[in-house]
Structure 1
Amino acid sequence: MNQKLFFTALIVLFVLSGVSHYGHWGTIPEFILSALAILFVAGFLGKATESVAHYAGQRLGGFLNATFGNAAELIIAIFLVRAGEFEMVKASITGSIIGNLLLVLGLSVLLGGLKYKEQTFNVQLAGHNSSLMILAVIALFIPAIFVSAEHFSIDQDRTLSISIAAILIIAYILWLIFSMITHKSILADEEVTTPDHGEEPAWSKTMSIVFLVVATVMTALVSEWLVHTLDSFSERFSLSAIFVGAFLIAIVGNAAEHSAAILLAMKNKIGAAVEIAVGSSLQIALFVAPVLVFVSMLFGETMDLVFTTIELAAIGVAVFIATSISRDGRTNWYEGALLLCVYVILGFAFYLV
């Protein structure tokens, strides 16, 4: 899709989504228009972030892409927290983690591997990412196990969740200092040059930043319109909150990461693609989820970090296979296919809940 056609579709869908929301067109038209609009808005966000990343470098660019790619999910989650939809928030967190590790990384590795026989990235970065993913699993498992086994009171549950949330935020900040400052040179990827790497960014540095801000504002608006339709849409089609949160919201919210990571992998920049996919999952688990605990306190009711058994199983399975595949710093198309197989298996299981 050329740039003019993309922006035309973006503006038309954004306007129609807003009109359908404020004009009360009905659940199905509102949901479809909001979902389509957020896909294009997330694509716009991805383009703007990729343009900014061109000026910031590959690792920092990957981090920025993951951060702004998560903006849609964070904003959707905040509106859900405000509405008291904690079950759907946790499902969307689960879906975002497994979606990035299995769907985004899987498609990137598959399509990049079909073009290049084997792709490599920094093996030390892969090892640290694996350790951080295991930390995320431990942090989410502990509240569920202790609250259930020791029959914690509501106050004990909240105290444990707030404590773990604070520790995870500190751990994430320390990781940024470690990876971006003190050990930046060790974790940097070697630049791989191929004929299509020299393309110029679509916009200037200033325009890229302006578009990044505009795209984030548009994401916030469309996210609120989408959240408004979720309850009635779920009831209309007899879908569980966990399926809607873990797959529908996650797939829509991950649109920016999908496009950016896949394009980078197909340019043989698998390191940046992994930074987006795995980095985004880590950011959700170690920063976004804990931040939502503190955000919920502002609305008068604290969200805990007690996830259901099936959510924990899904996260554990995703982390296990993603760690197994990425730890050696090498990827091929078959490993991408394996990640996608696990995602489809989980999709069927969640749908039947």
Structure 2
Amino acid sequence: MKHPSVLTSEPGLYAGIAASVFFYSLCTRYLTTGSSAWVSLGLFILLFLAMLWSSFGVVRHADGLAVQLGEPYGTLILTLSVISIEVIMISAVMLTGSHNPTLGRDVMFSVLMIVLNGLVGLSLLLGGMRHVEQTFNLQGANSFLGILIPLAVLGLILPNFTESTRAGTFSIEQVVFLVVMNVVLYVAFLGMQTMRHRNYFIGENDEPDHGGEGRLSVSTHTLLLVFYMIPIVLLSKKLAVIVDYGVSELGAPGDLGGMIVAILVLSPEGMAAIKAAQVNNLQRSINICLGSALATIGMTIPAVLLIGIMTSNTIVLGLNNVEALLLMLTLLVSMVNFSSGKSNLFQGVTHLTLFFCFIILIFD
């Protein structure tokens, strides 16, 4: 494709740049108080939509790389791109807003519930409604869960039972161990996924329909993906200010801020997973969903803990009793539903039931 055509086909990139210039021209005080509550709400919606548009641009070019490189590399690039956005946003909120020791935990828990119950449930339900029964590579799903389960339990439940520090937190020695363990296990998993056992993550329909996004070169897709992430990084700090102010002023549940960040991050990736299931490529859908959940734990926990060390702030990772129970139930249901290599819509209904339970528990 000619260079001018590339420039004129990326309106989302220009919208992200324009939004960055606009919001950085406003003082922080105006972003929170504004002239009225409606102005603040309008600024939040505008900021949210600009970041969402940029996120979809990231996913679109990750899909383009998937066409060029094949699976599982394409899905892996998509997952790492989205989770990088998540880590950046969490870091921005932690470093910009007032100290919230449970923010990282809340975002990770929201991501796990949205991915493992919301996205997986919708994918299985819609895929089952259209194709009755779908198949996937059982070894791949078990590989994801085999790493996800211990990392999730050690990172989000174990802190409630350690005795060297107060409940929900780790000592510095335990933090170092957890960071190293997460990084080593996740890097080892990536090596298995991309090299030694690549066939575990490839299904019968391993060439998804990406809507012609592979028409550009690998280098062009890579550059545009990075350029789309720049406005997201810049706007994350402004979103942190508004979310922190809004949750405190409205007296909203603390988990609500985490859910807002999770929805923003996962929306484009969720669309890709659901679309893959609808075209009978459940393997790609599972790679996206379980890969996103694993990357959330593998990348976000070390980032949150390291930020806590650098800022000398306490980081609470341990879930409360209700959340811990819901997480364990989700992991158990996932083990059962991904144990046969086949899926149907009733399994999707089960996951969606747990997702709606999560939504209700946020507000009650």
**Normalised-by-shorter TM-score class:** 0.7 to 0.9
Aligned residues: 346
In structure 1, the partner of 2:3 is: none
In structure 2, the partner of 1:127 is: 142
Q: CA deviation at 1:125?
A: 1.2
Deviations 1:200-227 (A, max 9, x none): 6253322211111111112212222211
Alignment of 1:142 with 2:154, yes or no, is no
Deviations 1:158-185 (A, max 9, x none): 3223322221221111212223222223
Quick one: which amino acid aligns to residue 308 of structure 2? S
In structure 1, the partner of 2:328 is: 316
Give the Cα separation in 2 of the matches to 1:266 and 1:115.
Answer: 7
Of the three residues 22, 38, 43, the one matched with 1:19 is 22
In structure 2, the partner of 1:29 is: 42
Secondary structure at the residue paired with 1:146?
coil
Alignment of 1:178 with 2:179, yes or no, is no
Maintained 8 Å contact 2:20/2:231: no
Give the Cα separation in 2 of the matches to 1:98 and 1:175.
Answer: 22
Give the Cα separation in 1 of the matches to 2:93 and 2:62.
Answer: 25
Question: TM-score normalised to the size of structure 2?
Answer: 0.85
Give the Cα separation in 2 of the matches to 1:259 and 1:297.
Answer: 36
Give the Cα separation in 1 of the matches to 2:101 and 2:18.
Answer: 30
Of the three residues 276, 292, 298, the one matched with 1:286 is 298
Give the Cα separation in 2 of the matches to 1:198 and 1:243.
Answer: 34
Deviations 1:81-111 (A, max 9, x none): 3243332221011111111111222222222
Please identify, of 60-69 and 5-14, the stretch whose mean Cα deviation from structure 2 is larger: 5-14
Change over 3 Å in CA distance of 1:342–1:112 after alignment to 2 = same
Cα root mean square deviation, aligned: 2.9
Alignment of 1:87 with 2:102, yes or no, is yes
Secondary structure at the residue paired with 1:177?
helix
Give the Cα separation in 1 of the matches to 2:284 and 2:169.
Answer: 42
% identical aligned pairs: 20
Change over 3 Å in CA distance of 1:268–1:75 after alignment to 2 = same
Quick one: which amino acid aligns to residue 272 of structure 2? A
Please identify, of 128-137 and 14-23, the stretch whose mean Cα deviation from structure 2 is larger: 14-23
Q: CA deviation at 1:300?
A: 3.6
Maintained 8 Å contact 1:189/1:271: yes
Change over 3 Å in CA distance of 1:9–1:188 after alignment to 2 = closer
Quick one: which amino acid aligns to residue 81 of structure 1? M
In structure 2, the partner of 1:41 is: 54
> Which structure 1 residue ranges, 5 or more long, are not aligned?
none
Q: CA deviation at 1:316?
A: 2.0
> Which structure 2 residue ranges, 5 or more long, are not aligned?
1-5, 35-39
In structure 2, the partner of 1:203 is: 216
Please identify, of 53-62 and 109-118, the stretch whose mean Cα deviation from structure 2 is larger: 109-118
Quick one: which amino acid aligns to residue 144 of structure 2? N
Maintained 8 Å contact 1:72/1:223: no
Of the three residues 310, 321, 326, the one matched with 1:298 is 310
Secondary structure at the residue paired with 1:265?
helix
Question: TM-score normalised to the size of structure 1?
Answer: 0.87
Give the Cα separation in 2 of the matches to 1:198 and 1:238.
Answer: 43
Alignment of 1:225 with 2:238, yes or no, is yes
Q: CA deviation at 1:279?
A: 0.7
Alignment of 1:72 with 2:85, yes or no, is yes
Alignment of 1:102 with 2:117, yes or no, is yes
Maintained 8 Å contact 2:113/2:358: no
Maintained 8 Å contact 2:87/2:303: no
Give the Cα separation in 2 of the matches to 1:348 and 1:222.
Answer: 30
Alignment of 1:242 with 2:245, yes or no, is no
Quick one: which amino acid aligns to residue 112 of structure 2? I
In structure 2, the partner of 1:167 is: 181
Change over 3 Å in CA distance of 1:331–1:222 after alignment to 2 = farther
Change over 3 Å in CA distance of 1:29–1:134 after alignment to 2 = same
Q: CA deviation at 1:79?
A: 1.1
